[in-house]
Structure 1
Amino acid sequence: MSCNDTVHGSGDGPEFDPFRLQRAAEARRRYFVGLSLSSDGSSLAGSVVQTCGVGLEAEARSVSSMSLRLPASLQEAWQHLDGFPSPPGESAGEVPVMLAELAEYQATMVHRLMTETRLGPDQLMAIGVEDPGLWCEVQKNLRCYLGLCDAASLSEATGISVIDGFPARDVSQNGRGGPLSPLPVWILLRSLDPFTASTWFVVELKRSIRVSCFLFSALDTMPRVISFPVEPGLLLLDLLVSKMTANEQAIDQGGRLAVQGKKIPELLDAWKAVEGFRNPAPWNPRVVPPVAFIERLNELAHHDLWSLQDILCTATHLIAEGIEHAVEKCRTADDRPGTRGVVCGGGSENGFIVQQIRSRICETSWCVPGDLELEDVAPRSTQAALLALLHVDHVPANLPHLTGAQTPRVLGRLTPGAPFNWHRLLELMAQNKPSMMSLRRAI
C-alpha cells in the first residue's frame, strides 16, 4: 500500500483521517492582536497572541511582538491633553485629530504583525487596544474615563474587529478602572505550567510597583488573586538620578550606581515614616510622583553631603522592604506558602533590586522573565490581546475586590471589522455563550 492510498478503519466505521486531530487542534486555536500605547505617548507596542481553549481555561503564548516609536508631535499632543485628575477642557477639539493620527500608526503596526506572522484578517479574531486614556476625577473615588482609540478608523484600515475601552465598564460600576492585569497574567502563568497547584508571586517592577499573589488549586473554579500596591515605585530612583546628575543621566541602568553605595540608616528611617510607604494609595491610572519622599530627603540636615550612590542604595533597600511587606500581606490572606515568584517589568533588569528581593524573601524561588525564556511575563500589548479574548468569551475581566467595582463585568467596546471577520467573530461568540448567567452579571 502506498502513502497515497486511502486508509479505512475496521468494519463499517467512518473513514480514518490521519489529520483529524491536527485539524481539531487548529480549530481551537485562535489569534488575537494586542496594541498598547505607552503611558507617556512616546511609543506603541504590539503583539500577536495564540490561544487554545476558552476563557480562563485558555493557554496563551505570544508568537510575535514589536514596538514603534511615535513622532514627537504626537507625543507632545498627548502630553498636552493628559492632565489627570482634571484634563484641560479647552483641548477637547484636539482629541479626535490626535486619535485619527494614532490610528494610522496602529494600523501600520497591525499590518507589520500580519506580514511577520503571515496571518490575515480572516485568521485574526480581533484587535485588543490598551491605552493610558483620558481621566478626570469628578470627586473623591468617582472617575470618568475616555479611551484613546479611534476604533472605527482602525477597523476600517485593517479589516479586523477592534475591542477597546476596557476600563470604562469597571468605572461605570464605581470602580477605579484597574488594575486589569490580574486575569491576563493568570492565563499566562497557567500557560507556563498548566498543571500548577501552587502559589505564584508576581512583582511588577515599574515606575509604579504592584505585588500580586496568584493562588492555583485544582479545586478553584475561579481565579484567586490577592494584590497590593507598593510605594515608592522605580520613579523615585529615576527622579533621584535625574536631579543629582543635572539631567545628564535619566536612569540607573541595571542598578550599577546603587550597588556601589551604602545604606544610610537615617534616610531609610525617614523614608519609612512617610505615609505613602506605610499605607500605599489604591490603583491609580497615572504613576503617582514620589513627592513626599523627595521632600523628606531635602528636609534632612546632611542630605547634601550624601553621594548619589548611597542615596540610590538606600532607596533600593526601601523599595525591597516595601515589596517584602506586600508579600507578607499576601501570605497573611492565604496560608499556602508561595513556592514560586517572578519579577517582571523594566526593573527586572536591575540586578541589585532583584538580589535584594531574593535575599529578603528567600523561602520563595524567584526568577526573572529571561529564566522562563520570555522577554517579559505579561507585556501590556499581550494583556490587551487577552482582555480581547475574555471579551469574546464573555468572561468578566475586572475583579471587584481589586478595582472597587460593585459587580464583575465583561469589559471592552466592540467595533466590527470587515464582514467576513465580523461574521466569524459573531459565530464564535455565540458558540462560547455561557449556559447560565444571572441578571446581575448579564451584559
Structure 2
Amino acid sequence: MTAPASASPLTCIGLMSGTSMDGVDGVLVDISPASGGALSLRQRGFASVDLPAALRDELLALNTPGDNELHRGALAANALMRVYAQCVQQLCAEAAVAPEAVAVIGAHGQTVRHRPGLFDGTGYTTQLINGALLAELTGIAVACDFRSRDVAAGGQGAPLVPVFHQAVWNDAGETLVVLNLGGIANLSILAPGKTPFGFDCGPANALLDGWCQQHTGQPYDADGRWAAQGQVHEALLQQLMAEPYIRQAPPKSTGRDLFNAEWLQQQLALQPGIAAVDVQATLTAYTVQAAAHHARAHAPAATRLLVCGGGVRNGEIMRQLAEALPGVTVESTQAHGIDPQAVEATAFAWLASKTWLREPIDMTAVTGARGPRVLGCLYLA
C-alpha cells in the first residue's frame, strides 16, 4: 500500500489508558519535522476522562485468569472505546477542530496480559481495544495494536516511548534519563549521538494506588502524604529489591502480570505485622530505589532526570528521587515543553503518525526486536 502524502503538520490524537487504570488521557497535537530533522509538536488540546468504576473493576479483574474471559474482554473493549470516543469528542470540541481535520487517532488500549517471548518462543501481548468501533464512533482513522508487531519481530513490545523521547529531546547535548511513573515505571536513556535505550524498571502506581485504596479508601496517595507519615521497613525494602526482575538485564518489560496484589501479599507474608502506612512508605521507597538502581547502572553519566506520568504529582517520590540521585537534576517534563500528564498520550499520537505514513521505527536497542518495523494497524475512517 502506498503511504499517504506527508502533509505538514499532521494533526493527530493520542489516547492512553495505562496500567494505573485511573482514566483516559488524550491529546490533540500537530506533528511536523523541523529543521535538522528534529520533531516539532504543537499541542492544541488535552483531556482526561475518568473510567467508570464498574469498567475499571472489570479491567482489573481481566488482568488475572477468570471465567468467560473472551466474552467479558470483548465487551470491556467496547465499553473502553466509548470512553475513548468521549475523550476524542471533548478534545475536538475544546480545540474547535472538526473530526475530518484529524488524520489519525493513536489508541493504546488496555493491557491485560503481557508475556513476550514466553511459551512458544514468541509469546504475546494483549491490549483490549476495538479500533473498528472507535473509528465508527469518531469518524477518524485509528491506529492501534502497536506492540504486537514488535513482539512478532522478537521484541518485548514495551516500552515504546523511548524512541519518542529521543525524537523530542534529541538535541539536549547531555545524557538525559526520562522516568515515566505510570502503573509501571519505565526509563528512557538518551545519550548524545547514541541510539535511545529503555526498559520497564519496576512498579509504580499499580502497587501504590492499590494499597492506598485498600487501606484508606482513597484512589491514590495524594502528594505521597500518607507514605510520608510512615517509616520505611528496611528488611521489606531489601526483600522487594531482591525480586529477580530488578536484576534482570534489559531488554525487559513487565506489568501487572508480575507486580500485582497477589505478589505483594506473598512478599508481606514473609514480613508479617507491618503497619499499613509503613507498607505504603516502603512501596514508595521501592518505586524510587528500583528506578535509581537502574539509572545508576545504565546511565552513570546522566545529569538530568525528567519525570512524567501520574507519579510526578507525588511530592514524596520526587523528593526521594533527588536524594537517591545526587548530582542529577530531577524535574518534571513540564520544564522541557510537555505536560507530564500528556507525555504518553503524545507518544501514541506520534506513533500513530508513523503508522499513518508507513514509516518504520527502530526499536532494536529498546525491545530487542530484529530490526525496524512499521508498528500498529490501521482502521480507516
What's the TM-score bracket when you normalise by the shorter of the two chains?
A: 0.7 to 0.9
Distance 1:403 1:228, change over 3 A: closer
Range with greater deviation from structure 2 (94-103 or 344-353):
94-103
2:3 aligned partner = none
| Secondary structure of the corresponding residue to residue 360 of structure 2 | coil
Judge conservation of contact 2:360–2:374 (CA < 8 Å) in 1. yes
Which amino acid in 1 is paired with 2:259?
P
Q: Partners of 2:16 and 2:190 in 1: how far apart?
A: 24
| Secondary structure of the corresponding residue to residue 306 of structure 2 | strand
Which amino acid in 2 is paired with 1:125?
A
1:358 aligned partner = 322
2:33 aligned partner = 53
Deviations 1:287-339 (A, max 9, x none): 63255554344323xx52x544444444433433322211122236xxxx322
1:254 aligned partner = 223
**1:125 and 2:103 correspond:** yes
**1:323 and 2:284 correspond:** no
Q: Partners of 1:73 and 1:293 in 2: how far apart?
A: 24
1:385 aligned partner = 349
State the number of aligned residues.
370
**TM-score, normalisation: structure 1:** 0.72
2:14 aligned partner = 34
Which amino acid in 2 is paired with 1:167?
R
Q: Partners of 1:252 and 1:155 in 2: how far apart?
A: 36
1:211 aligned partner = 187
| Secondary structure of the corresponding residue to residue 33 of structure 1 | strand
2:259 aligned partner = 289
Q: Partners of 2:8 and 2:166 in 1: how far apart?
A: 20
Higher Rg of the two aligned structures: 1
Identity of aligned residues (%): 24
Q: Partners of 2:154 and 2:112 in 1: how far apart?
A: 17
**1:399 and 2:367 correspond:** no
Q: Partners of 2:257 and 2:150 in 1: how far apart?
A: 19
**1:299 and 2:270 correspond:** yes
Deviations 1:228-259 (A, max 9, x none): 4333434443454455x3x5345332122333
Judge conservation of contact 1:208–1:287 (CA < 8 Å) in 2. no
**1:183 and 2:163 correspond:** yes
Judge conservation of contact 2:183–2:205 (CA < 8 Å) in 1. yes
Q: Partners of 1:74 and 1:292 in 2: how far apart?
A: 23
**TM-score, normalisation: structure 2:** 0.82
Q: Partners of 2:207 and 2:111 in 1: how far apart?
A: 24
Q: Partners of 1:241 and 1:105 in 2: how far apart?
A: 25
Structure 1 segment 215-294 matched on structure 2, within 5 A: 215-217=191-193, 224-242=195-213, 245=215, 247-279=216-248, 282-286=252-256, 288-289=258-259, 291=262, 294=265
Distance 1:132 1:107, change over 3 A: closer
Which amino acid in 1 is paired with 2:297?
K
Q: Partners of 1:292 and 1:116 in 2: how far apart?
A: 42
Pick aligned residue for 2:302 from 331, 334, 338: 338
Distance 1:44 1:205, change over 3 A: closer
Judge conservation of contact 1:103–1:150 (CA < 8 Å) in 2. yes
Distance 1:396 1:309, change over 3 A: same
Pick aligned residue for 1:197 from 170, 173, 176: 173
Distance 1:52 1:152, change over 3 A: same
Which amino acid in 2 is paired with 1:343?
V
Distance 1:177 1:285, change over 3 A: farther
**1:158 and 2:127 correspond:** no
Structure 1 segment 84-95 matched on structure 2, within 5 A: 90-95=68-73
Distance 1:31 1:278, change over 3 A: same
